[in-house]
Chains A and B, each alone.
Chain A
Amino acid sequence: MKTYRNLFNNLSEKTPPQGLCLSIIKKVRSIQSRNAKIRFTLSSIVTLVSLGGIFESILKLIESSNQSGFSQYFSLIFSDSTLFFSYWKEFGLSLVESLPLVSLVFLLGIVVVFLWSGARALKDARRTFLPA
C-alpha cells in the first residue's frame, strides 16, 4: 500500500553546498573566540583589581591586628614562650577575642576572588590566543 509518506519520499533531495558545514563551524568558532576574549578581558580586570584588594586587605588586617592587640598577643608566643605555655588557656582566649575577624574574612574573600578570576583568565587566555 503506497501512501503519502511513500509519495513524498520522491521529493527532490537537495545536497547542501560543499562548504556549508564548514561555514557553520567557522561561525560557531568565531562566536566562541569573541566570547572568550570578552570573558578574558573581564576576568583579567577582576584579577588585577582583586590583587590590589589583597594588598589593601593585608594592610587593613595589620592595622586592625595592632588596634585590637592581636599582634601584641601573637608576638608574645615567640618573645616569651614560657609565659604562653603557662597561661595557654587564657592566652588562647585573648587571641581569639582580639582576632580581627572582619578584616580576615574580607582578606580570605578577596583571595578566593583573585584565585577564581585568575584561573578563568588563564582558561580564556588559552581559548583566545591558542584556539583549537
Chain B
Amino acid sequence: MFYCILCYNLESEIDAWTREKEAAIMAKCDAVAHELAAQGRLGPVGRLMPTTTAMTVRASREPLVLDGPFAETKEQLLGFYLVDCKSLVDALQVARNLVGDTGALEVRPLATFYPGIGLQ
C-alpha cells in the first residue's frame, strides 16, 4: 500500500527557525528519506512554498479564485512524502521517524496512484 505522509506545522514557527535548526531538521528528514529510498520504498517528496504564495479555486456557479491557502487552519500543510508501506503500523513508524519537536504528520493511504512522467 502507498501512504502519503502530509507534514503540518505553524508556518510562523518555521519562519522563526534559525538556519542551524532548519538544517538539523532537514538533515534528519533527509536521512529517513535516504533509508526509504535505499529500501526501494520512497516515492515523490515535495516541500511546498509558504501559504502566502497559494491560491484557491473554489467551486461555484463561476469557479471562484481566492488568494491564500485552502483552509484557515492553525497549522499549515508544508510538504509530503509518498512511501510504500506494508501496513498502517509500518507507515506510522515512518511518520514517527520524520516528526520533529512540534507540528503534526497526517498519514493517509492512497486510493489510486499515477506515477506521472517522472518530472525533474
Q: Do A and B bind each other?
A: no
